[in-house]
Chain A
Amino acid sequence: MLAFIFKRLGQSIIVMLAVALISFIMFRYVGDPVASMVSQEATIADQELLRERLGLNDPFYVQFFRFIMNALQGNFGISYRLQTPVADLIMSRLPATIELALTSATIALIVGIVAGVFTALNRKSPIAAGIMAFSLIGVSLPTFLIGIGLIYIFAVELQWLPSFGRGQVVDLGWWRTGFLTETGLRSLILPAITLSLFQMTLIMRLVRAEMLEVLRQDYIKFARARGLSKRAINFSHALKNTMVPVITIAGLQLGSIITGALITETVFQWPGIGSLFLSSVAVVDVPVMAAYLIFVGFVFVIVNLIVDILYYVVDPRLRVGGSSKGH
């Protein structure tokens, strides 16, 4: 188990280094860091002095190493646009994004798995057909249109829910949460649904496809031949085997939560890091872009690590060595 985790950790570090390299190249070579720091009147000599002081004339690897050391200490430079440290910007907006993403991921997982299992087990029922049709519409509707549609119906026409922002937040010192106030929770509803819808349909279709595949296997036929109850076959034998591929692919789909969050935050003016990134792209605020990239890479690596460990726990073929004879 430990060896397995260490191996995965090693791979994660390689991935992080690759992401850091891309983000460093962006940070260093897209736009001119000096031009954005000095005033209009600075002379060439002044600029050159600053360049030297910032170490921009050092060899590539020295600069890259410095970049990594800074990043490890949470130092990602200063935003060109807002002139505040990037790390502070990200920290102040992170809670909003995490609360939104967690809420919608939970909704998506629960509804997605339940609906997927249901449609796989009742392939011919009209309800399942309805869910499938709905899911296809879900996949075909761009997230931003879902958001606009929900705003139009529930905020503009019915006026039940707010159309933008996080509502009131409670400051817990290092974390500003919207979970504790009524307006906070009400503001969360529409964005969370918007964000979860795409994931939900994706997970549902995946669970359905995998479950149908598993139900065709010989061991399911053999389980039926042993006279096991429908419940034991469907929910113990079939579901557990379905989860093995679902875990992997669901982990890989994490990326779409990140983009989904970005779009949702934009539509609902949600003050998270997705909308921060988007406004930085518009004005080429490179330090923020670079830091966001590293953040995304980091989340990706962590989630993949969790997925691998889950996978390891579920599948004994990874856990217990090959066909060891004797003992």
Chain B
Amino acid sequence: MTDITPSAPKGRFAKIIDSDIFFSYRTSPVAIVSSIVAAILVLAAIFAPWIAPYDPFSPRTLNLMNGFTPPMSESMLGAFFIFGSDHQGRDVFSAILYGSRVSLLVGVSAVMFAMILGVSLGLIAGFRGGLTDTVIMRIADIQLSFPSILIALLIFGIARGILPPAQQENMAIFVLIFAIGLSDWAQFARTVRGSTMVERQKDYVSAARIIGVKPIFILIRHILPNVLGPVLVIGTIGLALAIIAEATLSFLGVGVPPTRPSLGTLIRIGQQFLFSGEWWILFFPAITLVLLALSVNLLGDWLRDALNPRLR
């Protein structure tokens, strides 16, 4: 008297290959290309110490005689630079590898920070409702309308006023992560709160409440897995935004210290030489930054469409 005949069991791998999301990936050239580009850039950043031909931070390898070497050529001293060298004789290619490391580190950490903060607050606001919700969402609204860069600049200004100068350099990267992360949480909170409010009305939540499951476990076990889809999308797009924000702050001169340059710092340095013809010092870091942001953005965009079946 059973009316389900179980279909032939499929392996986990076969299931993934057959899934709609993988199909959408397989048939989207944009998604494939951008994921490959992003993967190359990320791997290059992670393995920078092994890939980079020079150590851009060691004063021993820097020689002013190597300065301003154009791309794909040898300097007066016979050193070869694929992307050329800057005014201090630093290899632009190596600097980019190490620079993307800093950019990615700051970007990923900031997004993680924003995600944890935003998802928790969004869950609480959406689940509790009432005054808790009003207060959290009002703060999020205000936060959203105060742009990240502005908040980061303020935090920087304050940090400079409070911290002793010796510590400022060491703290800069943490201040950066904190500032960018703090300004992005509201996005997560809004989305998660919206989905949470939809989910908590659903009967599977009532079913759990009836048997006395504690609210915190309802949130974590039941609701959280159901609101993570959009979080992934915002996280991806947020990563691109965070990388851009970091570059902008470093470009404005308030980001990471020049001793540990990020892509934004390299662009700031390169800008000084753009008008005198040494275009490569700016061009290559800029292209790397744009490729990184664009490929992550494209991935996020694809993910949003793939997770939203109505758009297909």
Q: Do chains A and B touch in the complex (CB under 8 A)?
A: yes
Q: Which residues of A contact B (CB under 8 A)?
A: 15, 18, 26, 30-31, 136-137, 139-145, 148, 152, 156, 212, 216, 251-252, 254-256, 258-259, 262-263, 266, 277-278, 280-282, 284, 286, 289, 293, 296, 300, 304
B294 adjacent to A143 (CB under 8 Å):
no
Query: In the assembled complex, which residues on chain B have CB atoms less than 8 Å from the CB atom of A278?
Result: 153, 252
Q: How far is the CA of A278 from the CA of B255 in the complex (A)?
A: 13
Given A142-B289, A156-B275, A278-B153: A300 and B146 within 8 A (CB)? yes
Given A145-B267, A296-B150: A140 and B294 within 8 A (CB)? yes
A282 adjacent to B142 (CB under 8 Å):
no
A142 adjacent to B293 (CB under 8 Å):
yes
B240 adjacent to A140 (CB under 8 Å):
yes
Given A148-B271, A258-B150, A293-B154: A31 and B145 within 8 A (CB)? no
Residue of A nearest to B285 (CB): A145
Query: In the assembled complex, which residues on chain B have CB atoms less than 8 Å from the CB atom of A18?
Result: 142
A31 adjacent to B161 (CB under 8 Å):
yes
B156 adjacent to A140 (CB under 8 Å):
no
Given A30-B158, A136-B294: A282 and B253 within 8 A (CB)? yes
Q: List 20 A-B contacts (CB under 8 A).
A: A26-B158, A30-B157, A136-B301, A140-B290, A142-B289, A142-B293, A144-B267, A145-B286, A259-B147, A259-B150, A262-B153, A263-B149, A263-B248, A263-B252, A278-B153, A278-B252, A280-B157, A282-B253, A286-B161, A300-B146
A140 adjacent to B142 (CB under 8 Å):
no
Given A30-B158, A278-B252, A286-B161: A145 and B289 within 8 A (CB)? yes
Residue of B145, B161, B286 near A255 (CB, 8 A) is B145
Residue of A nearest to B34 (CB): A136
Q: How many A-B residue pairs have CB under 8 A?
A: 102
Q: How far is the CA of A252 from the CA of B286 in the complex (A)?
A: 29
A281 adjacent to B150 (CB under 8 Å):
no
Given A148-B282, A262-B150: A142 and B244 within 8 A (CB)? yes
Decide yes or no whether B247 CB sits under 8 A from chain A.
Answer: yes
Decide yes or no whether B162 CB sits under 8 A from chain A.
Answer: yes
B162 adjacent to A30 (CB under 8 Å):
yes
Query: In the assembled complex, which residues on chain B have CB atoms less than 8 Å from the CB atom of A289?
Result: 154, 157
Residue of A140, A156, A216 near B310 (CB, 8 A) is A216
Least CB distance, A251 to chain B, in whole angstroms:
8
Decide yes or no whether B311 CB sits under 8 A from chain A.
Answer: yes
Query: In the assembled complex, which residues on chain A have CB atoms less than 8 Å from the CB atom of B156?
Result: 281
Residue of B142, B248, B297, B310 near A143 (CB, 8 A) is B248
Q: How far is the CA of A31 from the CA of B161 in the complex (A)?
A: 5
Query: In the assembled complex, which residues on chain B have CB atoms less than 8 Å from the CB atom of A263?
Result: 149, 248, 252
A252 adjacent to B144 (CB under 8 Å):
yes
Least CB distance, B305 to chain A, in whole angstroms:
11
Decide yes or no whether B274 CB sits under 8 A from chain A.
Answer: yes
Q: Which 3 A-B pairs have the closest CB atoms?
A: A30-B161, A255-B147, A140-B294
Query: In the assembled complex, which residues on chain B have CB atoms less than 8 Å from the CB atom of A280?
Result: 157
Decide yes or no whether B128 CB sits under 8 A from chain A.
Answer: no
Query: In the assembled complex, which residues on chain A have CB atoms less than 8 Å from the CB atom of B293?
Result: 140-142
Decide yes or no whether B176 CB sits under 8 A from chain A.
Answer: no
**Binary flags per residue of B273-287, CB closer than 8 Å to A gives 1, else 0:** 011000000100010
**Binary flags per residue of B145-169, CB closer than 8 Å to A gives 1, else 0:** 1111110011011101110000000
Decide yes or no whether B254 CB sits under 8 A from chain A.
Answer: yes
Report which residue of B141, B146, B157, B301 has the largest number of chain A beta carbons within 10 angstroms of its beta carbon.
B157
B-side interface residues, number (CB < 8 Å): 40
Least CB distance, A305 to chain B, in whole angstroms:
12
Q: How far is the CA of A236 from the CA of B97 in the complex (A)?
A: 53
Query: In the assembled complex, which residues on chain A have CB atoms less than 8 Å from the CB atom of B301?
Result: 136
Residue of B nearest to A274 (CB): B150
Least CB distance, B294 to chain A, in whole angstroms:
4
Query: In the assembled complex, which residues on chain A have CB atoms less than 8 Å from the CB atom of B286?
Result: 145, 148
Residue of A nearest to B274 (CB): A152
Decide yes or no whether B31 CB sits under 8 A from chain A.
Answer: no
Q: How far is the CA of A260 from the CA of B36 in the complex (A)?
A: 31
A284 adjacent to B157 (CB under 8 Å):
yes
Given A30-B158, A30-B162, A140-B293: A296 and B146 within 8 A (CB)? yes
Decide yes or no whether B298 CB sits under 8 A from chain A.
Answer: yes
A262 adjacent to B149 (CB under 8 Å):
yes
Given A144-B251, A266-B252: A255 and B150 within 8 A (CB)? yes
A136 adjacent to B150 (CB under 8 Å):
no
Residue of B nearest to A22 (CB): B154
Query: In the assembled complex, which residues on chain B have CB atoms less than 8 Å from the CB atom of A141?
Result: 290, 293
Least CB distance, B53 to chain A, in whole angstroms:
26
Query: In the assembled complex, which residues on chain B have CB atoms less than 8 Å from the CB atom of A286?
Result: 157, 161
Residue of B nearest to A145 (CB): B286
Least CB distance, B284 to chain A, in whole angstroms:
13
Residue of B nearest to A216 (CB): B310
A255 adjacent to B254 (CB under 8 Å):
no
**Binary flags per residue of B185-198, CB closer than 8 Å to A gives 1, else 0:** 00000000000000
Query: In the assembled complex, which residues on chain A have CB atoms less than 8 Å from the CB atom of B153?
Result: 262, 277-278, 281
Residue of B161, B162, B297 near A139 (CB, 8 A) is B297
Query: In the assembled complex, which residues on chain B have CB atoms less than 8 Å from the CB atom of A251?
Result: 145
Least CB distance, B147 to chain A, in whole angstroms:
4
Residue of B146, B275, B311 near A212 (CB, 8 A) is B311
Q: How far is the CA of A252 from the CA of B140 in the complex (A)?
A: 11
**Binary flags per residue of B72-114, CB closer than 8 Å to A gives 1, else 0:** 0000000000000000000000000000000000000000000
Query: In the assembled complex, which residues on chain A have CB atoms less than 8 Å from the CB atom of B162?
Result: 30
Query: In the assembled complex, which residues on chain B have CB atoms less than 8 Å from the CB atom of A143?
Result: 248
Q: How far is the CA of A255 from the CA of B301 in the complex (A)?
A: 23
Least CB distance, A128 to chain B, in whole angstroms:
14
Within 293-312 of B, Cβ neighbours of A (below 8 Å) are at 293-294, 297-298, 301, 310-311
Q: How far is the CA of A152 from the CA of B286 in the complex (A)?
A: 13
